[in-house]
Structure 1
């Protein structure tokens, strides 16, 4: 029987129309298969959060990531992502992080026992990252440890300030001055790795009001002012470097007035030596983290 004639239909039957119809039928299925196979790589996160325990929110429920990093699902990064409607958040904040841990792994510990390592925080940055937040400096300057050493149970005790001032030189001020060029290097590194990102650098909040509130927060008035003054000095260094790099600085001291560790539990954003809510001592509580997110979001939305 000739290939070109069908006995019943008695009309030519060629191979070419059949081939066209077969290919046309296969195209949608092939496209669907390609769609299922893509993407070749995961989409880059829109928002990357970097920083230390002030940003990670230790002991605020719920925990996410390595337990030793003290990273909370209600830290300011998660709250900010929710406020801004950011779909992709990569939060690599970690308790104990210093500037060196932006480019080096961080050894973690829990209750004094080794608890693995956290990768360099800069590993989370890509050329497609659109927003970066950074809170860093407290561990470079050792301010939390200094504050812990300033507990004074007697109103007539020796001021802690004198322990850190030798020959008229403020050792904590020296640490802060040494931290500033390290921060400059960190900000350069962020810009190199995420050239299109909006970069937000936060300061640290108001931990204790002028004159303190001994014995509720057991530091002498002179030490309360010196400790917060040291925080303010560090904030000034952070603000200078943010401005020098064309990045956004967020002041958290001014809006924290009336919300320091001396206040009632319902009003405070920062806890004292004995927390009154689920948070680490001398760190923001959930209300503080939520308000930090509100403040940051307000500034981002005001300046576009």
Structure 2
């Protein structure tokens, strides 16, 4: 009688260990997803900042917000709609500077606040007046205004942002803080056939936006805050990207909306940038 061929089998103990490990991995993944969803659903969310946070340009402004022009299409409201936080309030306001945040918005925060978002800094360096100069005046006047704004950004903005972020942390010690930045305005690849400002002015404005965002990112990192960069999400949807623009050009009928994101800019760029961090 021939001996039976030797059968190689995995020891039961080893197989059991594999199954235990797989079960642990699946359990951990499920727990992580549940925790993330629970954290978002239970968030006490406060939106701070300027017109890019209030939603100027997105339309559908709430009458109660007055000149702050808070929109139901703003990214913070869209986030609240999709995540159902325990509480949500936006105190962002058109035209706000860092000092306005300290004087008028910080009071909305408390130790129970768990999520804070903010865009701030553009008005501290005269963003609105710089854009007005570029639209209404010569190339030389535009470039001079941009140089003044970038000089101010380098000299005064880091300190102002540091003070503002420190105050936010003191007022909301338990919150995750997400700092969002500003988009570049122009697709320079299409500038040669795009009416309006010269390519020289557009290039200088894009560079100024990049500098502003870099200063904001550094200050956010120094404060230990999350930074959400929206520039890449606006690519293909900048001014001169005809029929695909997520930014307003000069709007004669409503000047305040000029150079601000549309509702699509909030839903297609700002909201995903925020959600990528919060889940």
Measured against the shorter chain, the TM-score band is 0.7 to 0.9
Secondary structure in 1 matching 2:257: coil
Distance apart, 1:84 and its partner CA: 2.4
Distance apart, 1:151 and its partner CA: 1.8
Counterpart for residue 164 of structure 1: 145
Secondary structure in 1 matching 2:224: coil
Report which of the two has the higher share of helix: 2
Distance apart, 1:80 and its partner CA: 1.3
Counterpart for residue 19 of structure 1: none
Report if the CA contact (8 A) 1:262-1:272 is conserved: no
Distance apart, 1:250 and its partner CA: 0.6
CA distances 1:119-153 after superposition (whole Å, capped 9, x unpaired): x1011001100000010011101122211211269
Secondary structure in 2 matching 1:213: helix
Counterpart for residue 15 of structure 2: none
Counterpart for residue 38 of structure 2: none
State TM-score, norm by structure 1. 0.71
Distance apart, 1:259 and its partner CA: 0.8
Counterpart for residue 215 of structure 2: 237
Quick check: 1:132 aligned with 2:110? no
Moved more, 255-264 or 79-88: 79-88
CA distances 1:253-296 after superposition (whole Å, capped 9, x unpaired): 1221111121223x211111138999811100000011211221
Counterpart for residue 48 of structure 2: 50
Gaps (5+ residues) in structure 2?
Answer: 1-41
1:287 to 243, 248, 264: 264
| Larger relative contact order, structure 1 or 2 (CA cutoff 8 Å, min sep 6) | 2
CA distance in 2, matches of 1:279, 1:172: 19
Distance apart, 1:172 and its partner CA: 1.6
State the number of aligned residues.
235
Counterpart for residue 115 of structure 1: none
Counterpart for residue 99 of structure 2: 100
Report if the CA contact (8 A) 2:180-2:229 is conserved: yes
Quick check: 1:204 aligned with 2:185? no
CA distance in 2, matches of 1:214, 1:191: 46
Distance apart, 1:179 and its partner CA: 1.2
Distance 1:234 1:158, change over 3 A: closer
Please tell me whether Structure 1 or Structure 2 has the larger radius of gyration of its CA atoms: 1
Counterpart for residue 3 of structure 2: none
Secondary structure in 2 matching 1:133: strand
Gaps (5+ residues) in structure 1?
Answer: 1-43, 105-119
CA distances 1:5-31 after superposition (whole Å, capped 9, x unpaired): xxxxxxxxxxxxxxxxxxxxxxxxxxx
State TM-score, norm by structure 2. 0.77
CA distance in 1, matches of 2:274, 2:177: 11
Quick check: 1:221 aligned with 2:199? yes
Report if the CA contact (8 A) 1:61-1:278 is conserved: no
Quick check: 1:121 aligned with 2:120? no
CA distance in 2, matches of 1:188, 1:262: 38
Counterpart for residue 35 of structure 1: none
Report if the CA contact (8 A) 1:56-1:75 is conserved: yes
CA distance in 2, matches of 1:86, 1:217: 44
Distance 1:195 1:282, change over 3 A: same
CA distance in 1, matches of 2:187, 2:92: 27
